[in-house]
Amino acid sequence: MTSSSPTSPWRERLASPLTWHYAGFVVLLLLVIGLTVRLGMDWAATNGRSTDALAGKQVELKALDLQTAPLRGLDKRVEDSRSQVEAFYAKRIPPNYSSIATRIGELQVKSGVRLSRVQYTQGPPGSDLTEISMDAGISGNYPEIMRFVNSLERDQTFFVIRAMGLTGQQGGLVNLRLQVSTWLRPGDAAASGLPPTPEAGAAGTAPSVGSSNGGKEGM
């Protein structure tokens, strides 16, 4: 009688197709889990880089926004500035040389001072304006002179006092040399026929008050 050894339960299980199905399922499950983890890590890294890139672009956009902010409405501000300049010219720049001389004479009468040998010259023509210089002697008592000086500074015609120096004093009478500037449009200045203003320190510097040669005289 032939005896056969009992079959091992593990061998039976290994030989069973169901066992191999289970094993294949576990391997696939582990593979899926691994792929899922890897995909999640890759997505997180990609998302982080995208977020950093987006943040960088937002910073650049904000910087450009701040840089261009002063330029917004620039054309409107330029146009407003031009309008203000033109309004200033129309209101405070005299239309011709004779209006300057006339206004100086009116202020002289109102203040009570006496101007002697008033001489006018014109500087180089500018793109918009030409400077007109007045060199004169002024005499009177101190309150009269101060009244005349203040009236020049506050007048609607744009006068700028360049220099004022004492040339003599007798009793209550004060003698000063006064240098004043105003401006004309280049065309109006050219039409005035005024001689050019001598350069400072040049041989042909402005004549002393009382001299009969040099610039056009007024008063």
> pLDDT per residue over 20-56, tens digit each?
666 777 777 777 787 777 777 767 666 666 676 777 7
- Which of 184, 200, 195, 198 is CA-nearest to residue 130? 184
Residue 68: which region, alpha, beta or left (left: phi > 0; alpha: psi -120 to 50)?
alpha
CATH of domain 93-212: 3.30.70.60
Of the candidates 139, 186, 182, the residue with the CA atom closest to the CA atom of residue 164: 139
- The enclosing H or E element of 92 equals helix 74-92
Q: Is the pLDDT of residue 153 over 90?
A: yes
Specify the pLDDT at position 184. 96
Q: Among positive and negative, which fits the CA dihedral 49, 55, 57, 60?
A: negative
Least confident of 1-5, 37-41, 100-104, 180-184: 1-5
DSSP-assigned letter for residue 64: H
What gap in Å lies between CA 197 and CA 116, rounded to an integer?
19
Give me the pLDDT at residue 205, please: 41
Single pTM value for the model = 0.61
How far out from the chain centre does Cα 16 lie?
91
Each domain of the chain, given as residue ranges in start order, spans 13-68, 93-212
Residue 179 has pLDDT above 70, yes or no: yes
Helix (H), strand (E) at residue 9: helix 9-15
Question: In sequence order, which residues have a C-beta less than 8 Å from that of residue 123 and are 6 or more positions away?
Answer: 130, 131, 132, 133, 196, 197
Which is higher by pLDDT, 17 or 148? 148
User: What's the chain's length in residues?
Assistant: 219
